[in-house]
Amino acid sequence: MRTAIVYSQKMREYDLGHVLTGDRYESFMRLFWEKLGDNPAFEIVEPGYATEADLKLVHTEEYIRRVERCESQDPHDTPLSPRVVRAAKLMAGAGKLAGELVQSGAFGKAIAIGGGVQHAGRNYERGFGIFSDVGICAENLMQNYGLERILILDADAHAGDGIYSIFARDPRVLFISIHQDPHTLYPGPGYTNPMGEGEGRGCSMNVPLLPGTGDLAYEYVLDSVFIPLAEEFRPQVIIMVDGSDTHFMDQITQMGLTLKGIYMIADKVRRAADRICQGKVIAFAGSGYDPKGILFPRGWLASVCGLTGLEIELDEPYPFPQGYRSDYGVLEARKAAETLKANFAPYWRCFASS
């Protein structure tokens, strides 16, 4: 099956004037065309803007109106302007379209370039995000296409507090967030690894990891947490939020992954989807912050190749830091995974016998 790359040049309007700049999307596309542009397995698909009805799948009307008036309540991280709001609607439309392309069977996988809003909730913007493209994608598939089981794997270095808030009470969504410990990174210590609420209790899992955690620890968490849960939950589709900002040279995080590690995460998702849900994956590639614009395009490319099983040479653009260890954090990751299994054993058979 082919893979859709959902992208528009108009996304460059999503420029917040700080580490998230509008040239990042075109930077990736240049690298994509250089490395994979002649591969017939990929097709560039132009998204449209999210409609009012699309936005209301997740967001309140009051919030939508406030955003359209450019009245930001998070002006430092998430300043609003007509251009930014317009681009936010385009990214929301891209997320919705990516889900529909996979659900229709026209594509086995779809990757929304520049998306992956983690921190925005139903009635607030936060942490560079305005409209929840991930939430709109999932809610559209459930409300309008009848899906009953969606797994969201958030591999971004930041905890996905906004995604959690949207689906905390929904047992149809299994949300797994693997991230740098919030005591050391945004959104901060107030996010205390919640488990879900009401009927959704037990359907939201957080695996906080030490700063500097490397490839092998992530692999352990995926093998011991993500894969058993996916096999028990049997999702009809997997949504993945790319974790390119987990790279050891990211500007605003402190994790320790390599490009091969980022590839490995996507490859694990692909293999799980092949076994469980006919290979159906919707991905959002938008994280990573590098003032030179060198790192994150390579991270996104690593995710794209991992999701599609393409072997590609992943040369690190920066030297390894002194004392770098790919096994750093393994023992702590095991402890975090064992704690999670104990807490969630009442909800999941795969953990009950651990």
Whole-prediction pTM value? 0.98
Phi, psi angles (nearest 5°) of residue 231: -70, -30
What's 3-352's CATH class?
A: alpha beta
pLDDT at 296: 96
Question: What contacts 24+ positions apart, CB below 8 Å, involve 74-82?
Answer: 74/124, 74/125, 74/126, 74/127, 77/16, 77/18, 77/126, 77/127, 77/128, 78/16, 78/125, 78/126, 78/127, 78/128, 78/129, 78/130, 79/16, 79/17, 80/125, 80/130
pLDDT at 111: 98
Tally of CB atoms within 10 A around 350: 18
Q: Provide the token pair at 60.
A: 């309140």
pLDDT at 354: 61
- Written in H, E and C, the secondary structure of 306-322 is HHHCCCCCCCCCCCCCC
Distance CA 335, CA 328 (A): 13
Residue of 149, 155, 319, 308 lying closest to 235 (CA atoms): 149
Please write the tens of the pLDDT for every residue from 160-172: 999 999 999 999 9
Low-confidence ranges of the chain (pLDDT < 70): 354
